[in-house]
């Protein structure tokens, strides 16, 4: 275990070179066939390079030689280049090299002329994502907050999250993120008529061991939901708490500041001041306005905070 100025790191990256050679023509992508009819499920890790819980899950599944009972299971490591850049003295810097890989999954960007490690990797993985019926994208949070699901506000996604049960908090997006296109809204997954579920699970703080435990439990529940593995033992869970994303605020000025220390899930009354930047104010849009994913530092162009309301 190591410690930076304000961050204890309980989990360090491991060498992934043994997993580079996949079997679908794309590095770090492994497809496991059952030989029986059933859904094709994609479990994706490391969309952000310093979110180690997905790496923990996918290496575990590969190391234990899990095999689907039905259908097809694909396991992938996404932004390995950012992951390999991890420096424990700057643990948040390896989130990305250039682009946020979870905001570039639009045809405009993937078919455009811009270049970056993240765009090259997303372009290489397009067919991997397109081939899946259902997608679980494993993430973690900068702040130590309760785990939660994030998904487009389609009933098919809500039903899967409720069926899996872990985590018990949901953030539904009726109109997308508003700051780019995430992997779970790529192509048909962003369309109401599509059959497949696609969701993010935010499993806890990046560098805590318990975050990997949540990620594994959520992933096994997701696979069991679609019949690819035997269901885990049932356990009583509290009722789900559901939120609807109202607005994603983006940092436009280096003087961005919250009015008080926050880490996520703080509640504000309608009109209450949340943050300021460049002479502008960010205020609560409704009573019980709940904030999620507040930025740790003021980096212009990155997301400042999500504003949500209870459903």
Position 181 scores a pLDDT of 97
Q: At what angle do helices 209-225 and 52-63 cross, to 10 degrees?
A: 60
pLDDT tens per residue, range 6-50: 689 999 999 999 999 999 999 999 999 999 999 999 999 999 999
- Residues found in the chain: 311
For residue 300, give its domain range. Answer: 244-310
Answer for the pair 51, 206: CB distance below 8 angstroms, yes or no: yes
Confidence class for position 271, pLDDT limits 50, 70, 90: very high
- What average pLDDT does the segment 246-255 reach? 96
Residues 6+ apart with CB under 8 A from 172: 151, 152, 153, 157, 158, 242, 243, 244, 245, 311
Pairing of strands 169-173, 148-152: parallel
Of the residues 197, 225, 253, which one is the last residue of a structural domain? 225
Does 214 lie in the same domain as 131?
Answer: yes
Q: Give residue 256's pLDDT band: very low, low, confident or very high (50, 70, 90).
A: very high
Is the confidence at residue 141, as pLDDT, over 60? Answer: yes
Q: What is the DSSP letter of 51?
A: -
Band of pLDDT at residue 125, cut at 50, 70 and 90: very high
* Residues above pLDDT 70, as percent of the chain: 98
CATH at 258: 2.40.50.630
Give 190-248 pLDDT, tens digit per residue. Answer: 999 999 999 999 999 999 999 999 999 999 999 999 999 999 888 888 899 999 999 99
Domain shared by 23 and 74, yes or no:
yes
Residue 232: per-residue pLDDT: 83
| Cis peptide leading into residue 167 (ω within 30°) | yes
Which of these, 59, 57, 75, lies nearest to 16 by C-alpha position? Answer: 59
**Residues 218 and 248 grouped into a single domain:** no
**pLDDT score, position 3:** 33
**Per-residue tokens: 84:** 């390999």
pLDDT at 6: 65
Whether 64 and 127 share a structural domain: yes
Model pLDDT, residue 234: 82
Cβ neighbours around 114 below 10 Å, total: 11
Whole-number pLDDT of residue 5? 45
Q: Are residues 40 and 159 in the same domain?
A: yes
With respect to residue 160, please indicate whether it lies within any of the assigned structural domains. Answer: yes
Query: Are residues 218 and 291 located together in one domain of the fold?
Result: no
Give mean pLDDT, residues 98-121: 97
Q: Is 79 domain-assigned?
A: yes
Mean pLDDT of all residues in 285-294: 98
CA distance 68 to 227: 8
Mean pLDDT of 63-91: 97
**Are 187 and 140 in a shared domain?**
yes
High-pLDDT (> 90) share of the chain, %:
94
- Angle (nearest 5°) at CA 281 between 276 and 283: 110
Longest dimension (CA), the chain: 61
**For position 48, what pLDDT does the model report?**
98
The yes-or-no verdict on residue 1 having pLDDT over 80 is no
Average pLDDT of the residues in 46-72: 98
Residues 62 and 101 placed together within one structural domain of the fold: yes
Domain count, the chain: 2
| Whether residues 216 and 155 fall in one domain | yes
pLDDT at 50: 98
Q: Is residue 232 part of a domain?
A: no
Model confidence band, residue 152 (pLDDT cutoffs 50, 70, 90): very high
Per-residue pLDDT band for 2 (boundaries 50, 70, 90) equals: very low
Output the DSSP codes for 65-125. T---SSSEEEEEE--HHHHHT--TTSTTGGG-SSS-TTSB-SHHHHTSS---HHHHHHHHH
* Whether pLDDT at 151 is above 60: yes
| Residues 201 and 280 grouped into a single domain | no
Q: What CA–CA distance (Å, rounded) separates 220 from 229?
A: 8
Same domain as 78, residue 143: yes
């Amino acid at each position: 275990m190591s410690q930076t100025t304000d961050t204890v790191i309980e989990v360090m990256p491991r060498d992934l070179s043994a997993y580079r050679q996949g079997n679908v023509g794309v590095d770090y992508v492994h497809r496991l066939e059952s030989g029986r009819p059933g859904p094709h499920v994609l479990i994706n890790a490391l969309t952000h390079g310093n979110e180690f819980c997905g790496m923990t899950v996918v290496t575990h599944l590969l190391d234990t030689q899990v095999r689907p009972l039905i259908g097809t299971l694909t396991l992938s490591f996404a932004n390995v280049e950012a992951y390999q850049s991890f420096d424990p003295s700057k643990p948040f810097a390896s989130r990305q090299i250039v682009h946020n890989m979870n905001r570039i999954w639009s045809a405009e960007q993937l078919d455009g002329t811009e270049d970056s490690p993240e765009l090259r990797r997303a372009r290489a993985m397009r067919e991997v994502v397109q081939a899946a019926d259902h997608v679980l994208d494993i993430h973690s949070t900068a702040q130590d907050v309760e785990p939660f699901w994030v998904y487009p506000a389609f009933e098919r996604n809500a039903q899967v999250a409720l069926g899996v049960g872990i985590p018990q908090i949901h953030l539904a997006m009726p109109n997308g993120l508003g700051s780019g296109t995430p992997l779970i809204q790529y192509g048909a997954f962003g369309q109401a008529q599509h059959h497949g579920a696609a969701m993010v699970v935010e499993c806890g703080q990046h560098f805590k061991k318990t975050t990997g435990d949540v990620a594994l439990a959520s992933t096994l529940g997701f696979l069991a939901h679609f019949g690819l593995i035997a269901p885990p033992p049932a356990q009583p869970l509290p009722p789900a708490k559901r939120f609807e994303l109202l607005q994603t605020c983006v940092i436009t000025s280096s003087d961005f500041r919250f009015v008080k220390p926050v880490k996520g899930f703080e509640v504000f009354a309608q009109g209450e001041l949340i943050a300021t930047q460049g002479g502008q104010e960010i205020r609560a849009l409704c009573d019980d306005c709940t904030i999620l994913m507040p930025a740790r530092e003021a980096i212009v162009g990155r997301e400042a905070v999500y504003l949500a309301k209870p459903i």
